[in-house]
Chain A
Amino acid sequence: SQKIEQNSEALNIQEGKTATLTCNYTNYSPAYLQWYRQDPGRGPVFLLLIRENEKEKRKERLKVTFDTTLKQSLFHITASQPADSATYLCALEDTGRRALTFGSGTRLQVQP
C-alpha cells in the first residue's frame, strides 16, 4: 500500500543550528513533492515544491532534496530561529492523479 512517513517524534534543536526533517515514501511515483508549514490552529502554508527531475531546491534559509531512488526527501532549515517552530508536512501527488497526499508531519521546536 502507499505510505508517506515522517518522523512522528518532535525535533528539538538549538537556535542557529540546522534542522533536518525526513520524508520517506513507498509505492508512489511522484511527479513532484511539496513541503508545508502548519502552526497550531492554522491551515498549512506552502513552502517549497521540488520536481522528480530536480535534486535540490533552495529558498532563503530552506533547502529541499529529492532522491527518487531512495524514495526520500530531506528538508533543511539553516540558521534556525524560534519562529521556525511549527509542524512541517510533506506531500506527494502521484503521477496522473490530482490528489495530494500528506504525511502526518514532524513538529520542530527551536530553543532560544
Chain B
Amino acid sequence: NAGVTQTPKFQVLKTGQSMTLQCAQDMNHEYMSWYRQDPGMGLRLIHYSVGAGITDQGEVPNGYNVSRSTTEDFPLRLLSAAPSQTSVYFCASSYLNTGELFFGEGSRLTVL
C-alpha cells in the first residue's frame, strides 16, 4: 500500500516557468487537498476536492490550478511560477466520512 505519493520531491524553477506537482493515492479516498508549508506560517490550504470533477478553493489559491478527473489523482499546476511560491507542498487525502488526513512526503519547490 503506497498511500499518498507525491512527485517530484524536489524542483527548482525559474520565475515564469510552469510545472505540475503530481499527487496520487491508492486508498480510494474521496477527499484530496493541497497545502503549502512555510516557516512560521504552518500549513495553508491551497485547493481541495471532495470527489472526481469537484474542486474548491482554500485559503491561498491564487497562482495555482487543480483538476480532479479521477478519484486517485489530484495534480497541482503552477502556470507562471513566482519566488513567493517557494515552499514545501503537501498533498493529503481522506475518506469523506472521517476527518483523518493522510499526507504525502512533500515536494520542495524553489523558484528563482
Give residues in A with beta carbon < 8 Å to B: 8, 32, 34, 36, 41-46, 49, 89, 91, 93, 98-105
The B22-48 residues at the A interface (CB cut-off 8 A) are 31, 33, 35, 40-45, 48
Q: Specify which chain A residues have a CB less than 8 angstroms from the CB of B92 in the assembled complex.
A: 43-44
Q: Specify which chain B residues have a CB less than 8 angstroms from the CB of A34 in the assembled complex.
A: 99-101
Interchain CB contact under 8 A, A32 and B99: yes
Interchain CB contact under 8 A, A8 and B105: no
- Bound form: Cα–Cα A98–B42 in Å: 18
Q: Specify which chain B residues have a CB less than 8 angstroms from the CB of A89 in the assembled complex.
A: 42-43
Q: Residue on B with the closest CB to A90?
A: B42
- Bound form: Cα–Cα A99–B105 in Å: 20
Q: Specify which chain A residues have a CB less than 8 angstroms from the CB of B105 in the assembled complex.
A: 42-43
Count residues on chain B whose CB falls below 8 Å from chain A CBs: 26
- Bound form: Cα–Cα A60–B89 in Å: 31
- Bound form: Cα–Cα A36–B100 in Å: 9
Interchain CB contact under 8 A, A104 and B45: no
Interchain CB contact under 8 A, B101 and A46: yes
Q: Which of B33, B40, B48, B101 has the most CB of A within 10 A?
A: B101
- Bound form: Cα–Cα A42–B96 in Å: 24
Interchain CB contact under 8 A, A103 and B99: no
* 24 A-B pairs with C-beta separation under 8 A: A8-B40, A32-B99, A34-B99, A42-B106, A43-B103, A43-B106, A44-B43, A44-B103, A49-B100, A89-B42, A91-B101, A98-B31, A98-B50, A98-B56, A99-B58, A99-B59, A100-B33, A100-B45, A100-B101, A102-B42, A102-B43, A103-B42, A104-B40, A104-B42
